[in-house]
Structure 1
Amino acid sequence: MNDLISIIVPVYKVEKELPKCLDSILTQTYSKLEILLIDDGSPDRCPEICEEYARKDDRIKVFHKVNGGLSSARNYGLDRCTGEYIAFVDSDDWITPDFIETLWRNLKKENADLSIVGYALAWESGEKMPYSDEKEYLVFDKEQAIREMMIQQRFQCMVCIKLHKKELFKEVRFPEGKLFEDAAITLDIFKQCERVVFCGKPLYMYYQRAESIVNSGFGKKKLDMLKYSEGMIEYSNENNKIYDIEAHTFYLQAALMLILQAYNDPDNSDSQYAMKYIYGEIKKYKKYIFHNPYIQTRRKIVMLAILMKVSPKIINKLWKVKVNH
């Protein structure tokens, strides 16, 4: 375990969660780490906490910068990291002790460009819900990996469950001032990967905060996600539509996620605009819904209800009903 691995941690207004995150990084079984804490102009005690931890462990490098958002902080770290491999950890999440070692061992074993593990949603109550099947271990070539990324069944776009060869970021940076930045770069990363390895063990704990971007009220900027999703369809079209069903699956599932968020904030003018716009998008691509093997039955039912212009309140209730698929 002689390869230097850089872990980039953007830090902003997480003074309560930050120590747990940093402790989980410092106790990794893989020890040759460069830990970059990017204080993104945090107004709370985060800057002091970062410095305290840097005094405890010389693998930590602390950088203080003017607030620019998550993408800006990650890019700041990418421009300064020196490791052969790059991982990201968000500062309100935490990782199991074998997180980095598992990613690294799998990547080396399979001679892969990208290594991915599973994750679990985690709440303040202590409840955890694994997203992936911990028994799964799969190796994909480029085409297979892109398909898997688009259908989002085994793993998501999130960069924090991945270990990247540094070369993958030579020409790639996160878009600043945009939301859903992980989705924005995912295709550009996967297009460079000849081999991708996936292990379903949930080693990354994704903390669910009510005030997070994903869980916050609806804003028109969230429609950025559809722009990135459209890029998947364009890429498929440029390649003889070899990913046609998968790319449209990605788009439709993104559209569904957004319209459900808009339904939860119905009096918001941005929500009202999004409801009309996304309805049109789902209608435009409806031929990809009902015979699609990648879309769950519940999602198909909810999309049908949207197309039938069923009341948002009823659709929200329908969304909460469990359906076997």
Structure 2
Amino acid sequence: MDGIKVSFIIPAYNVAPYIGNCIESVLTQSIEKEIIIINDGSTDRTADEAQKYADKYSFIKIINKSNQGLSSARNDGVSIARGEYVCFIDADDYFLEDFAGDFYKLCKLHRLDIIRGFYARAYPDGRIKKVIHPVSFLNCPLNSYDYLAKSVYEKAMEVVAVAGFIRRDFLINHKLKFEEGLCYEDRLFYLKLLLSSKNCTVMQTDRCIYGYRMREGSITKTTDKKKLIDLIKIMRKQIFFIDNLELNKYYITAANKVASASLSHLTSLYLRLSSNERREIIGKIPGRLKLRALRYSYSFRDFIKLSGFIFFPRLFVLIFNLKCFLKKYRDFI
């Protein structure tokens, strides 16, 4: 392992104003580390900003490549990583504290394959809103099947690849990669990560370690028709993966609720499209997928939302537009 305990993998695309803050937060981590920055075809000064740090620190590596998306960048980072664990962080985000040494000690003590913390939403006006779920399984090692199920049933599911460590050999041995060419790849990766092995041990800590920057123009803040089509493809892949698992009803239901949450998320994105695009998207979602998502609704709120979307799509849009109008009216007065 060359003495490297953690490989921090940073995909970067046109984030020149933020990447310095990201790298600085990784540098503060008190652990033997390497930092791998994948410049994914940036057209601004992202590469130049990253190079300033690479010139100063020998453990920082930069991969410059043509733009192929977040998944490809993460996969490239894992392929050259030498650390015992990998830690993903997006280049416009940052760590809130020095946590890595403590996380590594927990990994060794409990022989963990995965350790996770919570994240906070960081707003442009300086506000920080922590997203911490008071679940029953904090700071306890769990089998990954139980971790997934408890996260789902206690309404604490966070389908993100960031905010924690994953043992590198675990990723390699189970051939776990991010789906390239598609958005919302975390939703599929999350399922495969937790359900690909019966011998995977996970811990959810109570620490809030990750600052998720809420900015306009980020991948998660922009919507277009392709992203919804990608999400439909991800849902199909989720269902295919689930249907090939040999698990009992308790775990299968939890896995299906993860897939159902993908369609619930799609309904929110759907409302941002034009009427023509909405009709096209509706036609691309198989009826069986809609009904399956409804059957395994993640929450009662999702059940209501999906029911409106599936059975009364025009009314669903009308109610959304009315809510937007009323909100603007309240803000005006």
Which range, TM-score by smaller chain? 0.7 to 0.9
Q: TM-score, normalised by structure 2?
A: 0.84
Gaps of 5+ in 1: none
| Cα shift at 1:177 | 0.9
| Cα shift at 1:45 | 0.6
Query: The residue matched to 1:137 in structure 2 has which SS?
Result: coil
Distance 1:282 1:151 in 2: 21
1:200 equivalent in alignment to 2:206:
yes
Query: The residue matched to 2:242 in structure 1 has which SS?
Result: helix
- How do 1:248-287 residues align onto structure 2 when only pairs under 5 Å count? 248-269=256-277, 271-278=278-285, 280=287, 281-287=289-295
| Cα shift at 1:265 | 1.3
8 Å CA contact retained: 2:12, 2:40: yes
Gaps of 5+ in 2: 327-333
Query: Residue 15 of structure 1 corresponds to which residue in structure 2?
Result: 16
8 Å CA contact retained: 2:232, 2:285: no
- How do 1:215-226 residues align onto structure 2 when only pairs under 5 Å count? 215-219=221-225, 220-226=229-235
Letter of the 2:290 counterpart? I
Distance 1:286 1:187 in 2: 19
Query: Residue 304 of structure 2 corresponds to which residue in structure 1?
Result: 301
| Cα shift at 1:146 | 3.2
Distance 1:223 1:152 in 2: 26
1:313 equivalent in alignment to 2:322:
no
Greater Cα shift, 87-96 or 271-280: 271-280
1:173 equivalent in alignment to 2:181:
no
Query: The residue matched to 1:79 in structure 2 has which SS?
Result: helix
8 Å CA contact retained: 2:267, 2:306: no
Greater Cα shift, 162-171 or 260-269: 260-269
Distance 1:151 1:42 in 2: 40
State the Cα RMSD in Å.
2.7
| Cα shift at 1:240 | 4.3
| Cα shift at 1:307 | 4.2
* Cα distance change on mapping 1:85 and 1:286 into 2, 3 Å: closer
- How do 1:138-217 residues align onto structure 2 when only pairs under 5 Å count? 138-148=140-150, 153-170=155-172, 171-190=175-194, 191-192=196-197, 193-217=199-223
Query: The residue matched to 1:13 in structure 2 has which SS?
Result: coil
1:38 equivalent in alignment to 2:38:
yes
1:80 equivalent in alignment to 2:84:
no
Distance 2:233 2:99 in 1: 31
Distance 1:173 1:5 in 2: 18
Provide Cα deviations, 1:109-160, integer angstroms capped at 9, x if missing partner. 3221111111112221212222223783232113202324656833422111
* Cα distance change on mapping 1:187 and 1:286 into 2, 3 Å: closer
8 Å CA contact retained: 1:302, 1:318: no
Q: TM-score, normalised by structure 1?
A: 0.86
The alignment covers a number of residue pairs equal to: 312
8 Å CA contact retained: 1:117, 1:162: yes
Distance 2:168 2:266 in 1: 32
| Cα shift at 1:317 | 6.1
| Cα shift at 1:179 | 1.3
* Cα distance change on mapping 1:153 and 1:58 into 2, 3 Å: farther
Query: The residue matched to 2:220 in structure 1 has which SS?
Result: coil
Letter of the 2:230 counterpart? K
